Amino acid sequence: MPGSRCYDNPADHLFKPAQRETHRAEFCRLVGKSPDFSVGLPLVMDELDEALTDL
């Protein structure tokens, strides 16, 4: 079908590496998470453990 994106490469719809860094920092700021993986991962794991305990 003309104009269909059904068979497009999904990577064509993602941010390019240079754009990703800019957007990643903004996203982390908006959601209140650290853009530093070594800082953010332990905090997210703690949140997950707490959520699973509540569940």
* pLDDT tens-place string over residues 26-42: 999 999 988 898 998 99
Full-model pTM:
0.54
For 53, which DSSP code?
A: H
Write the DSSP assignment of 2-22 as a string of letters: TT--TTS-GGGGSPPHHHHHH
Q: Is the torsion defined by CA of 42, 46, 49, 52 positive or negative?
A: negative
Residue 7: φ, ψ to 5°: -110, 15
High-pLDDT (> 70) share of the chain, %: 98
